[in-house]
Amino acid sequence: MISTQLLISGVIFGLSIGSIYFLLAIGLSLCFGLMRIISLDQLLYYSLGAYFTYSVNLLTGNMWVGVLAGMIVSALASLAVERLVFRRIYARDPTFSMITSFGILIGGIGIIKFFWGVVPRPVEVPTLLQVDILGTEVPVYRLMVIAIAVCVYIGIWLFLHRTIVGKAIRAAIEDVEHVEGLGINVSRLFTLTFVIAGALSGLAGGLHAPLIMVDPTMGLETLAFVFMVVIIGGLGSIKGTLISALLVGQVVSLGSIIYAPMAQMAPFVIMLLVLLIKPTGLYGSPVFKR
């Protein structure tokens, strides 16, 4: 029997890790939904966000400045990759983009090892405060991570549904050729989406850094879970990505409490069940046009 305190701690942990998965997976989902590319290099920007958070925190003593720096560097790196690499392969098969982006990820890991070495680095938690929830002490920082993810979701939703550029991106996800026929520069939409995805991946890395040891291969370690989040939620769906990320986060957290191996196995089982019932994911569109 699980105690109430352990259950509450597990739920909060699951929500916080699910929030990290959401910030990281939303970039993958948007990139495939709009550009039909599998952008595994988002995991590199996640690592860059974590490492720049670590470095800037050492220099300034302020983790939040480090998170901001990580987001900026990740956005610039994603801009460079989009201009130099992906712009040349948009018309290719998605499998080609997956292989290419995986190569960028592996090369980026080598660069990280060159500058920071292979020894895992700790990042100090910005606050050690705890709040009492139903008799259980819960770290305030984990609640802050959850709140930031919620704000990001609201911000993305407002951007996609309340701005002209956002509506153009949503339309392009459904039919790129139709949007091009309206005279909209789709290439710029691609670049903007890619930069936003890179910045959010950097944010995920920066926020996750105090909860783990920053490691060059941290992107590879989260690869399977992020893929599951994207597939379960449905490619291109913001709402689906959020729900899927929180679901996977809870399964990993509570599964590890009930039976440790379940934390690794259960998300795959859920993904297979979802694909059997709804192959496009929970909120994925069955219609894809290029």
Residues 218-262 pLDDT 10s? 999 898 888 889 888 887 788 889 999 999 999 888 888 877 777
**Cβ atoms of residues 196 and 78 within 8 Å:** no
Question: Is residue 57 in a domain?
Answer: yes
Q: Tell me the mean pLDDT in the region 179-188.
A: 78
Length of the chain as a residue count: 290
Q: What is the pLDDT of residues 138-166, one digit of tens each?
A: 899 999 999 999 999 999 999 888 888 88
Which of 31-35, 69-73, 84-88, 201-205 has the lowest average pLDDT?
A: 31-35
CATH code for the domain of 263: 1.10.3470
Question: Is residue 287 in a domain?
Answer: no
Question: Is residue 289 in a domain?
Answer: no
Domains: count for the chain: 1
Q: Is the pTM of this model over 0.85?
A: yes
Question: Is residue 72 in a domain?
Answer: yes
Question: Is residue 285 in a domain?
Answer: no
Question: Is residue 15 in a domain?
Answer: yes
Say which DSSP state 210 is in.
G
Spacing of C-alpha 274 from chain mean position: 20
* pLDDT band (50, 70, 90) for residue 287: very low
Question: Is residue 127 in a domain?
Answer: yes
pLDDT at 290 over 50: no
Residue among 134, 137, 108, 90 at smallest CA distance from 42: 108
Q: Which domain holds residue 19?
A: 4-277
Question: Is residue 55 in a domain?
Answer: yes
Spacing of C-alpha 151 from chain mean position: 14
Q: What is the pLDDT of residues 276-285, one digit of tens each?
A: 888 888 886 6
* Residue 122: strand pairing partners: 213
Spacing of C-alpha 243 from chain mean position: 13
Which H/E stretch holds residue 133? strand 130-133
Angle 181-173-233 (CA atoms, 0-180°, nearest 5)?
A: 170
Q: Tell me the mean pLDDT in the region 49-72.
A: 96
